[in-house]
C-alpha cells in the first residue's frame, strides 16, 4: 500500500494534505486486519524537503505503532553522483525503516549501480531495495547488474507501471513491481501469484496482456499509456473506489485567482465508456473483485 504523492504531482497537493493522508492510512494500518506494509513516497523537490518527509514518516510510525517503508528517489537538486550519494547518506542517518531507492525522476541523474550497491553495503538495515526504472534499454542491463549484486542487494522491483515486468521478472529476476495503478491492483496480484507458482496453467502471459490492454486506454482516450488519470478514473469509479471522476490539474500560469491547481471532471462519452467496460469485462476471469 503506497501513499503518494509522486514528485511530478507534488504541486497539486494542498498544504498539509500529504501528512493528513499518510496519518489516515497509518491509522488504518494499525488495525489488526490490515495485511499490507504501508510505504510512503518521500520525493521532495529538494534534498531538504525529502528529509523533512522522512521525519514525518518517523513520527507517524511512532504515533501509530506500525512498521513502514519509504520509497525515495534522487532529489531534483542533485546534479552529480556525489550529490546523490550525500543525499542518501543523510537520509540513512535519520530513517527508522527500510528505504527503497527509486532510480529515476527525470530531473536529476540516476544513481550509478555501483553507488546503489555501496549504499546497501554501508547501510544494510536501510538500503538494498531498489525500484529500477531508468529510461530506455539501460533499465534491463541495470536490473541484471543489481540482481547480480545479491545478497547485498535484497530485492529489485520493476517500475514503469510494470510494463516490462514479464521479461524483467521471468528472465532477469525482479521480484515484484511498484506502480501507481490502484484500479488494477488485483490484476497485478494475479500476475504475481502466477509467476510465483511457476505459471502452472500457462496463464501468466494472458494476465499480463490484460494489464496492457487496460493501460492502452491512455493511448486511446488520453495523451499516453502512462496517463494515470483520464479513463482510469472511470475504472476506479466503476469498481467502487471513487464516487466521481473529478481530478486536479495545474492552473494556467496567469490564473486570475492565483490558483496553483483547479478541479475538473473527466467526461467520457457513452461509446468511450462502452469500450472501457468491454476491456474490463475481458479482465474479469483474473480479478478478485468482480462486483462491478
| 18-32, 88-102, 122-136, 199-213: range with lowest mean pLDDT | 18-32
Interval 88-103 mean pLDDT: 97
| 146-150, 188-192, 222-226, 284-288: range with lowest mean pLDDT | 222-226
| 15-19, 107-111, 215-219, 263-267: range with lowest mean pLDDT | 15-19
C-alpha angle 12/14/18, rounded to 5°?
95
- Per-residue model confidence (pLDDT) at position 260: 87
Distance of alpha carbon 206 from alpha carbon 199, whole angstroms = 11
- Per-residue model confidence (pLDDT) at position 1: 58
Strands laid side by side in the 129-132 sheet:
2-3, 38-41, 68-72, 99-102, 129-132, 155-158
- Per-residue model confidence (pLDDT) at position 175: 92
pLDDT at 125 over 70: yes
Q: What is the pLDDT of residues 43-59, one digit of tens each?
A: 678 999 999 999 999 99
Domains of the chain: residue spans and CATH: 1-180 (3.20.20.70), 182-292 (no CATH)
Question: Which conformational region is residue 246 in: left (phi greater than 0), alpha (psi within -120 to 50 degrees), or beta?
Answer: beta
Distance of alpha carbon 9 from alpha carbon 111, whole angstroms = 22
Interval 234-246 mean pLDDT: 95
| Residue 277 binned pLDDT confidence (cut-offs 50, 70, 90) | very high
Distance of alpha carbon 287 from alpha carbon 266, whole angstroms = 25
Using a cut of 0.85, tell me whether the model's pTM lies above it: yes
pLDDT at 227 over 80: no
- Per-residue model confidence (pLDDT) at position 106: 76
* Closest-CA residue to 211 (of 153, 275, 292, 283): 283
Q: What is the pLDDT of residues 76-94, one digit of tens each?
A: 899 999 999 999 999 999 9
Q: What is the pLDDT of residues 170-201, one digit of tens each?
A: 999 999 898 888 899 999 999 999 999 999 99
- CA distances for 153 relative to 127, 128, 147, 233, 273, angstroms: 8, 4, 7, 36, 44
- Per-residue model confidence (pLDDT) at position 245: 95
Residues 6+ apart with CB under 8 A from 210: 187, 282, 283, 286
Interval 88-115 mean pLDDT: 94
pLDDT at 22 over 80: yes
Amino acid at each position: 500500500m503506497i501513499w503518494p504523492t509522486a514528485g511530478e504531482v507534488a504541486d497539486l497537493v494542498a498544504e498539509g494534505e500529504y501528512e493528513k493522508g499518510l496519518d489516515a492510512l497509518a491509522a488504518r494500518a494499525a488495525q489488526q486486519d490490515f495485511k499490507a506494509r504501508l510505504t510512503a513516497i518521500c520525493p521532495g523537490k529538494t534534498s531538504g524537503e525529502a528529509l523533512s518527509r522522512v521525519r514525518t514518516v518517523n513520527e507517524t510510525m511512532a504515533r501509530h505503532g506500525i512498521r513502514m517503508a519509504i520509497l525515495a528517489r534522487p532529489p531534483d537538486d542533485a546534479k552529480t553522483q556525489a550529490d546523490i550519494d550525500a543525499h542518501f547518506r543523510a537520509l540513512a542517518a535519520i530513517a527508522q525503516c527500510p528505504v527503497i531507492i527509486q532510480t529515476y525522476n527525470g530531473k536529476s541523474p540516476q544513481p550509478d549501480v555501483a553507488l546503489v550497491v555501496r549504499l546497501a553495503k554501508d547501510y544494510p538495515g536501510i538500503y538494498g531495495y531498489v525500484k529500477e526504472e531508468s529510461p530506455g534499454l539501460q533499465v534491463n542491463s541495470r536490473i541484471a547488474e543489481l540482481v547480480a549484486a545479491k545478497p547485498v542487494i535484497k530485492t529489485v522491483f520493476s517500475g514503469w507501471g510494470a510494463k516490462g515486468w514479464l521479461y524483467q521478472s521471468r528472465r532477469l529476476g525482479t521480484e515484484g513491481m511498484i506502480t501507481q495503478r490502484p484500479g488494477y491492483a488485483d490484476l497485478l496480484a494475479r500476475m504475481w501469484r502466477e509467476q510465483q507458482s511457476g505459471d502452472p496453467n500457462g496463464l501468466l502471459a494472458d494476465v499480463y496482456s490484460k494489464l496492457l490492454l487496460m493501460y492502452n486506454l491512455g493511448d486511446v482516450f488520453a495523451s499516453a499509456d502512462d496517463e494515470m488519470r483520464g479513463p482510469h478514473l472511470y475504472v476506479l469509479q466503476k469498481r467502487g473506489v471513487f464516487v466521481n471522476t473529478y481530478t486536479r490539474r495545474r492552473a494556467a500560469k496567469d490564473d486570475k485567482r492565483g490558483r496553483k491547481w483547479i478541479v475538473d471532471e473527466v467526461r467520457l462519452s457513452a461509446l468511450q465508456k462502452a469500450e472501457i467496460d468491454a476491456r474490463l469485462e475481458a479482465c474479469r476471469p483474473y480479478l478478485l473483485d468482480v462486483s462491478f
